């Protein structure tokens, strides 16, 4: 379980993940906020539907993909949390083909 080393004094931000309210700190990314509230399952793979969560936290692996405010394939580790965001797990095919 991940915890903050000290309850930070930064203002709180709240958003939802799969309909559930999540409390975050300003300065959090969607991924850090979810990890720090105990979430591990961010998406299912398009091939085997297996569960995945953040792996690199630096924008490289694309394992943290979620749907944010209706837009799919967003990198949760690169996107700062905003009040009232609606975040859902990424299911199924991913993004623009690259070739």
Partner 1 sequence: MKACDLAIIGAGPAGMAAATEAANAGLSVIVLDEQPAPGGQIYRAIETVPEERRKILGPDYAHGAGIAQAFRNCGATYIPEATVWNINPDLSIDYSRHGGSAQVSAKHLLIATGAVERPTPLPGWTLPGVTTAGALQILLKAHGGVGDDVVLVGSGPLLYLLAQQMIAAGKPPKAIVETIDRERYIKAARHLPRALAGFGYLRKGLSMMRQIRQAGVPRFSGAHDIRIEGVHRAEAVVFSVGGKAHRIETTSVALHQGVVPNQQATRLLGCDHAWNESQRCFVPKLDVFLESSIENVFVAGDGAGIAGAKSAAMRGRLAALRVAQKLGHSNGADIRALQADLKRDEAVRPFLEALYAPSRDILQPADETIVCRCEEVTAGAIRRAVDLGAPGPNQVKSFLRSGMGPCQGRMCGLAVSAIIAERRKEEPEAIGYYRLRPPLKPLLLSELAQLEPEATRSEPL
Site residues for partner 1 per CB under 8 A: 1-6, 8, 25, 27-29, 32, 35-36, 40-42, 45, 47-48, 50-63, 65, 71, 73, 78, 80, 94-96, 98-99
Residue 77 makes CB contacts below 8 A (sequence gap 6+) with 29, 30, 31, 32, 54, 56, 57, 58, 59, 64
- Which of 40, 60, 84, 92 binds ligand FES (CB under 6 A)? It is 60
Q: Is 29 exposed, middle or buried (0-12, 13-18, 19+ CB in 10 A)?
A: buried
C-alpha R_g of the chain: 13
Of residues 38, 55, 82, 86, which one binds ligand FES by CB under 6 A? 55
Q: Which is nearer to partner 1, 45 or 91 (CB)?
A: 45
- Find the binder of ligand FES among 37, 45, 62, 67 (CB under 6 A): 62
């Amino acid at each position: 379980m991940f915890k903050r080393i000290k309850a930070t004094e930064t203002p709180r931000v709240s958003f939802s993940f799969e309909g559930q309210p999540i409390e975050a700190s300003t300065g959090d990314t969607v991924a850090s906020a979810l990890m720090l509230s105990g979430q591990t399952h961010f998406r299912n793979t398009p091939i085997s539907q297996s569960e995945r969560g953040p792996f690199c936290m630096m924008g490289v692996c694309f394992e943290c993909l979620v749907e944010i405010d209706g837009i799919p394939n967003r990198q949760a580790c690169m996107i700062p949390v905003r009040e009232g965001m609606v975040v859902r797990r990424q299911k199924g095919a991913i993004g623009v083909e690259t070739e």
